């Protein structure tokens, strides 16, 4: 079994020692990844973005991996966007304060206020990636963002809008209703409901934003992903935090799934769908949506061979420990780069 050019359309690499530690997990198994800009400070400036891209490439070592860089959304003028058009893949919009390192995000979704930047993005064909949550009650935050998505889709029909890491049935339906709306789905949201996070003993390593929802939401996400539906792409939202920042009071949001993604998706799709649809979900759909092509293919083979996910990954100098998604569990497939 083989996958060609797996793409992770939503990925947190962080910076410095964390970047060095986590980048190889994705770079080994994926052909490219969309790298999130929520650093401290966020990426809002060309030189900082170029320097970060170079650090990302250095951290990926010799792997055949293309980082697709994103800029943190704020009001930008067209001349500025034009000057860095070739350096960025997309712009990521966060509502202010909604998740990790997002304080500088958007505080009001006023169309007139957003218009100059979004029109410029439309004209320059820069996609808008959105973390779609309001500050409503936590279980309703994503669904109550749906009218904002609709408003954006209607006012900017030529803008490619990606609803990131969707977690609800409502958004599974919305993505099918507007041509310019697309969506990414994570691995963990195909597997979890809120019950897994806080239904028994609290599981900090499953705590993320948006929070996992109800069974019917998970079922709708699975149905959409497993069908290979064209406008839905895989984006892991793999978001590493040091173990001590997860296992504490005030636990950081984020699931570190990078080491297990391909293996677990292979198991899920062989059980509930087929590898053809996995190929679409993990690569072809994104290639089509973004007109991406690669001069050299990266082929990942899936071998049916059990392995146990480590309970913790530790950096070489032992300064960083991260607990991965599915820590300690036995998985059925091993993903390897074809020689």
Q: What are phi and psi of 243, to 5 degrees?
A: -50, -40
CB 327 within 8 A of CB 309: yes
Give the angle 307-311-312 at the CA atoms, nearest 5°: 115
Closest CA to 171 of 198, 144, 202: 144
Q: Does 205 bind ligand DOR (CB under 6 A)?
A: no
Question: What are the backbone angles phi and psi of residue 169, rounded to the nearest 5°?
Answer: -60, -40
Residue nearest to Zn ion (CB): 237
**Taking CB under 6 A as the rule, does residue 209 contact ligand DOR?**
yes
Shortest distance (Å) from residue 274 CB to Zn ion: 28
List the catalytic residue out of 179, 237, 297, 317. 237
Bond before 41 cis per omega within 30 degrees: yes
Contact pick of 42, 67, 132, 254 for ligand DOR (by CB under 6 A): 254
Least distance (Å) between residue 129 CB and Zn ion: 9
Whether residue 112 lies in the annotated active site: no
| CB distance 212 to 193 below 8 Å | yes
- Which one of Zn ion, ligand DOR, none is in contact with 20 (Cβ closer than 5 to 8 A by kind)? none
Ranges of beta strands (E only) in 283-326 are: 299-308, 313-314, 321-322
Is residue 99 part of the contact set for ligand DOR (CB under 6 A)? Answer: yes
Q: Is 188 in the site for ligand DOR (CB under 6 A)?
A: no
In the complex, which residues of this chain contact Zn ion (CB under 5 A)?
A: 237
Nearer to ligand DOR, 99 or 263 (CB): 99
- Closest among 16, 76, 72 to 43, alpha carbons compared: 72
**Closer to Zn ion at the Cβ: 130 or 170?**
130
Give the footprint of ligand DOR on residues 5-34 (CB under 6 A): 12
Count the alpha carbons within 13 Å of 23 in the hemisphere toward its beta carbon.
28
**Residue 53 near residue 69 (C-beta atoms within 8 A):** yes
Which entry of Zn ion, ligand DOR, none binds 38, CB below 5 to 8 A by partner kind?
Answer: ligand DOR
Residue with Cβ nearer ligand DOR (230 or 247): 247
Strand 330-337's sheet: what is its strand order? 2-4, 299-308, 330-337
270 scored as a contact of ligand DOR (CB under 6 A):
no
Of the residues 46, 146, 148, 253, which one makes contact with ligand DOR according to CB under 6 A: 253
Q: Tell me how far, at minimum, the Cβ of 82 lies from ligand DOR, in Å.
A: 28
Residues at the interface with ligand DOR (CB under 6 A): 12, 38, 99-100, 131, 208-209, 237, 239, 253-254
Catalytic residues: 237
């Amino acid at each position: 079994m083989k996958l060609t050019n797996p793409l992770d359309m939503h990925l947190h690499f962080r910076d410095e020692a964390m970047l060095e530690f986590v980048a190889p997990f994705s770079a080994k198994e994926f052909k490219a990844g969309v790298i999130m800009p929520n650093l401290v400070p966020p990426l809002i400036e060309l030189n900082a973005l170029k320097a970060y891209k170079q650090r990302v490439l250095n951290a990926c070592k010799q792997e055949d991996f293309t980082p697709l860089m994103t800029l943190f959304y704020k009001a930008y003028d067209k001349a500025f966007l034009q000057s860095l058009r070739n350096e960025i893949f997309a712009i990521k919009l966060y509502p202010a304060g909604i998740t990790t390192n997002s304080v500088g995000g958007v505080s009001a979704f006023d169309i007139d206020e957003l218009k100059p930047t979004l029109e410029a993005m439309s004209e320059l064909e820069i996609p808008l990636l959105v973390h779609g949550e309001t500050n409503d009650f936590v279980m309703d935050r994503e669904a109550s963002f749906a009218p904002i998505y609709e408003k954006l889709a209607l006012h900017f029909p030529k803008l490619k809008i990606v609803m990131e890491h969707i977690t609800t049935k409502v958004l599974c339906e919305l993505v099918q209703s507007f041509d310019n709306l697309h969506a990414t789905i994570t691995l963990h949201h195909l597997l979890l409901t809120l019950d897994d996070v806080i239904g028994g003993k609290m599981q900090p390593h499953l705590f993320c934003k948006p929070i996992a929802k109800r069974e019917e939401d998970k079922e709708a996400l699975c149905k959409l992903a497993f069908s290979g539906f064209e406008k839905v792409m895989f984006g892991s939202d793999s978001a590493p935090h040091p173990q001590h920042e997860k296992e504490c009071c005030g636990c950081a949001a984020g699931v570190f799934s990078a080491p297990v993604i391909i293996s677990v998706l292979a198991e899920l799709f062989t059980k509930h769908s087929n590898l053809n649809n996995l190929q679409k979900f993990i690569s072809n759909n994104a290639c089509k949506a973004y007109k991406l092509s690669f001069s050299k293919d990266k082929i990942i083979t899936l071998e049916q061979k059990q392995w146990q996910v480590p309970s913790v990954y530790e950096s070489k100098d032992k300064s960083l420990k991260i607990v991965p998604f599915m820590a300690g569990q036995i998985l059925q497939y091993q993903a390897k780069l074809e020689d």
